[in-house]
Amino acid sequence: MRAIVYHGRGSSPEKVDWLIKPLRDLGYEVAAPTIRDVSDAYEAGLSLLPVDVAAGHSMGGTAALLLAARNPGMVGCVISVAGPVDRRLQLQWLESKGDKFSKRLANELAALGPLLDETSPSRYIGRGMPPVLYIRGERDDVVPRAHVDVLVGLAEKFGFPVDVVEIAGMGHTPKGDEEREKVARVIANFVEKCPRRS
């Protein structure tokens, strides 16, 4: 059983051990490439297909969704933790916030130009999309809940299952043992039902 796990923007594979460990504990062989952006994450994933699980946090969650959406039948299931589903929607959200961190992120996204749409999972999700687990923190102020609504709408339109789990008190990233254990339990329950691809 094989999985690919992507870290978030400006992060590293070591910093998403909370996402890697539950899969390894379930017997998955996990590849966790170091990535700069969604485009190179996607390219790294292509070389590993087929995989049973594509997972990621934040930007990495976007990459996991994109990998599955653009390669029907090659990914068994997707785990996206706070991953933007529609990158143009994410840009609008960040532009509306006004703080320095959000403005910097918005500028980075805006600089992508047409690549912003080309790396947006919502543009590719369709029939053949595998089951998706979307985990978000109730207090996430980086990626708004509107992305869940987009994903659920696409799931209803194209007929694939989506499990949405909102963790009370959690922000954009799970902090502390309790939140990480909750995430691990949710992941374990979900992947037991995933179809095998590799």
Q: What is the pLDDT of residues 27-58, one digit of tens each?
A: 999 999 999 999 999 999 999 999 999 999 99
Amino acid occupying residue 125: I
**pLDDT band at residue 197, thresholds of 50, 70 and 90?**
low
Maximum CA extent, the chain: 44
Q: Choose the CATH number for 2-191 among 3.40.50.1820, 3.50.50.60, 3.30.70.250, 2.40.50.140.
A: 3.40.50.1820
**pLDDT band at residue 198, thresholds of 50, 70 and 90?**
low
pTM: 0.95
Q: Is 98 a residue whose pLDDT tops 70?
A: yes
Give the domain ranges of the chain. 2-191
> What is the distance between the alpha carbons of residues 66 and 30, in angstroms, rounded to a whole number?
18
